[in-house]
Amino acid sequence: MHQYDISIIIVNYNVRDYLYKCLRSIIDAKRNLSVEIIVVDNNSQDNSVDYLKPKFPVVKFISLSENIGFGKANNAGIAEAGGKYLLILNPDTILQENTLEVMHDYMENHSEVGISICKVLNADGTFQSSCRRGFPTPFASFSKLFGLQALFPKSKIFGKYNQTFMPVDETYYTEAVSGCFMFSKAEIIRSVGGFDSDFFMYGEDLDLCYRVHNSGYKNAYVHTTSIIHYKGESSKRSSQNDIRHFYDAMEIFIRKHYSGSGLFLQFMKAGIKIRSLFAYLSKYKRDLMLITFDVAALIISLFIGTYIVFGDFTGFPDYAYPIVFIVPSFVLIISMILAGEYFESSGSITNTVFGYTLSFLILSTLTYFFTEYRFSRGTLLSTIAVSILISSGFRIFLNSFLRTGLPQQVRAAFLGGPSSFSQMLDDFRAGNPLDINLIGYISEESSDSESDVNWLGKLRHLDSIIRENKINNIIITDPEMSSEKVMQILSGNSVRNTKFHLAHRYEDFVASQLINNITFTSSMLPRYNINILRYRIIKRVFDFSLAFMLIAGILPLIMLRKKFSFRSLAKILSGKNTFVGVKQDKARYEGIKPGLLSLADLSSIKPLPDKSINEINEYYLKNYSVSLDFEIIIKYLSTK
Domain residue spans of the chain: 4-137+155-257, 285-404, 410-527, 530-639
Residue 239 pLDDT > 50 = no
Give the DSSP H or E segment for 142: helix 138-145
Min mean pLDDT across 88-97, 320-329, 532-541 is at 532-541
Model confidence over 24-51: pLDDT tens digits?
A: 999 989 888 999 999 999 888 778 888 8
Say if residue 376 is exposed, middle or buried (CB neighbours under 10 Å; 0-12, 13-18, 19+).
middle
Q: pTM to 2 decimals?
A: 0.55
Q: What angle is formed at CA 130 by the lines to CA 128 and CA 134, rounded to 5 degrees? A: 145
pLDDT of residue 296: 95
Residue 158 pLDDT > 80 = no
pLDDT of residue 355: 92
pLDDT of residue 163: 75
462 or 114, which is more confident?
114
Question: Quick one: what percent of the chain has pLDDT higher than 90?
Answer: 20
Q: State the Cα–Cα distance between residues 503 and 279, nearest whole angstrom.
A: 31
The overall average pLDDT reported for the chain is 79
Alpha carbon 557 to chain centroid, angstroms: 46
213 or 446, which is more confident?
213
pLDDT band of 591, cuts 50, 70, 90: low
126 or 457, which is more confident?
126
- How confident is the model over 519-533, as a mean pLDDT? 60
- How confident is the model over 353-358, as a mean pLDDT? 92
- Exposed e or buried b for every residue in 296-314, given b needs 16+ CB within 10 A? ebbbebbbbbbebbeeeee
The fold of 4-137+155-257 is Spore Coat Polysaccharide Biosynthesis Protein SpsA; Chain A (3.90.550)
- How confident is the model over 135-156, as a mean pLDDT? 70
CATH fold match for the domains 4-137+155-257 and 410-527: no
Q: State the Cα–Cα distance between residues 495 and 480, nearest whole angstrom.
A: 24
69 or 259, which is more confident?
69
Q: Name residues whose C-beta falls within 8 Å of residue 451's C-beta, 6 or more positions apart in sequence.
A: 418
pLDDT of residue 38: 93
pLDDT of residue 198: 67
Q: Which CATH architecture has domain 410-527?
A: 3-Layer(aba) Sandwich (3.40)
Structural contact between residues 380 and 305, judged by C-beta atoms closer than 8 angstroms: yes
Residue 174 pLDDT > 80 = yes
pLDDT of residue 361: 92
Long-range contacts of residues 26-30, Cβ cutoff 8 Å, at least 24 apart: 26/89, 26/95, 26/100, 27/56, 27/58, 28/95, 28/97, 29/95, 29/96, 29/97, 29/98, 29/99, 29/100, 29/101, 30/100
Structural contact between residues 160 and 139, judged by C-beta atoms closer than 8 angstroms: yes
- How confident is the model over 508-526, as a mean pLDDT? 56
Structural contact between residues 88 and 66, judged by C-beta atoms closer than 8 angstroms: no
Q: State the Cα–Cα distance between residues 168 and 119, nearest whole angstrom.
A: 8
pLDDT band of 491, cuts 50, 70, 90: low
pLDDT of residue 610: 76
Structural contact between residues 532 and 564, judged by C-beta atoms closer than 8 angstroms: no
Q: Any alpha helices (H) in 555-625, and if so which ranges?
A: 566-573, 610-623
